[in-house]
Chains A and B, each alone.
Chain A
Amino acid sequence: MEAVGVWIAALLTICILSFLYKDNPVYKFAEHLFVGISAAYWAALSWHNILIPNLYQPLFREGQILFVIPLLLGIMMILRLVPRVAWVSRWPLAFIVGTYSGYYFITYLQTNAIEQVRATLVSFIELREWRVFLSQPGLITLLNAIAVPVMVIGVITGIIYFFFSREHKGVFGGLAKVGVWFLMIAFGASFGYTVMARISLLIGRVYFLLRTWLGVIG
């Protein structure tokens, strides 16, 4: 049975890779099959893992009457499929957005803004790292020594680049240009990581085809 699964997976992988040649019916078949199976999988999973234990059991088996509220909100959400009363679905949506906003707001601000600002409030010159560099000169120790100044300069010049209330000329323009360089290096690093991720996925598929399916590599 496992061998059948491997063969199906291998053939579907080849169907998807056939898009490299051009868009074709075989690729379309695999794509539609993937979307259909994913939707069915999620529907079944939601039913068994979410609705049954979190709604059906407490409401109908244990008689917890308060669970009528999520049941009603769920029904209101589904009414989106009926054009005449689709507006009713805005109420549960508003409830979800409001709850999550309230829940997220402070924590998100603390984690992604305040903590990040705090991380930049450090000594401009890290004496310990400079001592390490002077005792063991090398590329890594040098990079560690200049890491903080580079980060602070990057943050300040990056912010200056996005400050559009003043024309980017003279010293201000020069600082903005430095900010652009920092941004470009950051985007380049990010792009490099993206390439690495995509190649990894390709390696994963080729590894599956050659090892699990064909067994030509150990």
Chain B
Amino acid sequence: MRLHEAIERLDPGSKVIISFDYSPSTMPEIYPMNLALASHCFAKDLKIIGMALWPTGVPLGQESMEEAAQQYGKEYGVDYVNLGYKAGGIVVISSTAEDIPGTFPQDYAGRSVAELEVMDGVENFDSIDLIVSLSAGDPGVREWVMIAEGRYGMDVGTGVTAVSAPSFYPYLNAGQLVGLLGGMKGAAEYEVLIEKSGTATAGMDAQSIAHGLIIFFILFANLFYLLERKRAS
């Protein structure tokens, strides 16, 4: 898992942007990734700067960071921050690249980011070591790759829904992404890697049974189709 390795390579105190670009409709797939990622970052003593290109991602990101922070004794404003949502997609990414506190002068609850310890020394992308977009569509990882990786040469990783995963593998193969988690399977693999089994790992049993059933139906239907054709001829 390249995303896991990318986080493992970071030194304690490094700053990671996690962009919560998803909504409750994709929670079963992306929320476990979010939680596992936040847990991994806190376990490695990394600082998380959360933000969202989707307004619905703000409370989900906050919930995941709070849950992980409780387990690792981390504090809001010191170890992590949620900058909230800004409308504009790709324009917000460009603006963040140049001036993070200018783009997000306040956090999601309206507190000035200048007063938060975690934002000390954070000015632009030069202050950031890794970006991870948890993306369920546009704006999302495509925009992060285009601007953050393409223009600024940042390391960008992602966690996406299984539906969209095949369209982002070319980015991974081309080296434009440092890692990719695809759907519930990706989340479960990440949970195994950080040795914290969660809802994704639990869901993989049901997933495997459902897949087995679908394969059985496909074979069953094709068998009858072939038998029917043979009988007709």
Interface residues of A in 85-125 (CB under 8 A from B): 103-104, 107-108, 110-111, 115-116, 118-119
Among B87, B161, B202, the residue within 8 A (CB) of A197 is B161
| Contact present for B162 and A119 (CB under 8 Å) | no
| Contact present for B150 and A200 (CB under 8 Å) | no
Answer whether A50 and B211 are a contact pair too, CB < 8 Å, given A115-B174, A193-B165, A203-B28.
Answer: no
- List chain A residues, Cβ under 8 A from B211: 195-196, 199
Answer whether A193 and B146 are a contact pair too, CB < 8 Å, given A119-B170, A200-B203, A203-B207.
Answer: no
Whether a CB of chain A sits under 8 angstroms from the CB of B151 is: yes
| Contact present for B199 and A196 (CB under 8 Å) | no
Interface residue total, chain B, C-beta cutoff 8 A: 39
- List chain B residues, Cβ under 8 A from A144: none
- List chain B residues, Cβ under 8 A from A103: 90-91
- What CA separation (Å) do A122 and B211 show in the bound complex? 36
Say how far B86's CB is from chain A's closest CB, in angstroms: 8
- What CA separation (Å) do A199 and B29 show in the bound complex? 10
- List chain B residues, Cβ under 8 A from A104: 90, 146
Say how far A144's CB is from chain B's closest CB, in angstroms: 12
| Contact present for A207 and B28 (CB under 8 Å) | yes
- What CA separation (Å) do A96 and B85 show in the bound complex? 21
Whether a CB of chain B sits under 8 angstroms from the CB of A201 is: yes
For B134-156 the 0/1 string (1 means CB < 8 A from A) is 00000000100111011100000
| Contact present for A111 and B184 (CB under 8 Å) | no
Say how far A122's CB is from chain B's closest CB, in angstroms: 10
- List chain B residues, Cβ under 8 A from A119: 170, 173-175
With both beta carbons as reference points, the residue of chain A lying nearest to B145 in the complex is identified as A111
Whether a CB of chain A sits under 8 angstroms from the CB of B27 is: yes
Q: In the complex, which of the residues A104, A107, A193 has the most CB atoms of chain B within 10 Å of its own CB atom?
A: A193
Whether a CB of chain A sits under 8 angstroms from the CB of B109 is: no
Whether a CB of chain A sits under 8 angstroms from the CB of B61 is: no
| Contact present for A111 and B182 (CB under 8 Å) | no
- List chain A residues, Cβ under 8 A from B185: 196
Answer whether A196 and B174 are a contact pair too, CB < 8 Å, given A103-B90, A203-B28, A203-B184.
Answer: no
| Contact present for A200 and B166 (CB under 8 Å) | no
Among B25, B87, B173, B207, the residue within 8 A (CB) of A196 is B207
| Contact present for B176 and A115 (CB under 8 Å) | yes
| Contact present for B150 and A197 (CB under 8 Å) | no
Whether a CB of chain B sits under 8 angstroms from the CB of A45 is: yes
- List chain B residues, Cβ under 8 A from A205: 28
Answer whether A197 and B151 are a contact pair too, CB < 8 Å, given A104-B90, A119-B170, A203-B203.
Answer: no
Whether a CB of chain A sits under 8 angstroms from the CB of B210 is: yes
- List chain A residues, Cβ under 8 A from B165: 193
For B70-92 the 0/1 string (1 means CB < 8 A from A) is 00000000000000010100110
| Contact present for A50 and B29 (CB under 8 Å) | no
Given A107-B146, A197-B161, A207-B199, 16 more A-B residue pairs with CB atoms under 8 Å apart are: A49-B85, A104-B90, A107-B151, A111-B145, A111-B149, A115-B176, A151-B173, A190-B166, A196-B183, A196-B184, A196-B207, A199-B206, A200-B28, A200-B29, A200-B203, A202-B210
The 8 A-B residue pairs with the shortest CB-CB distance in the complex, in nearest-first order: A204-B28, A119-B174, A197-B162, A200-B184, A197-B163, A196-B162, A193-B162, A190-B166
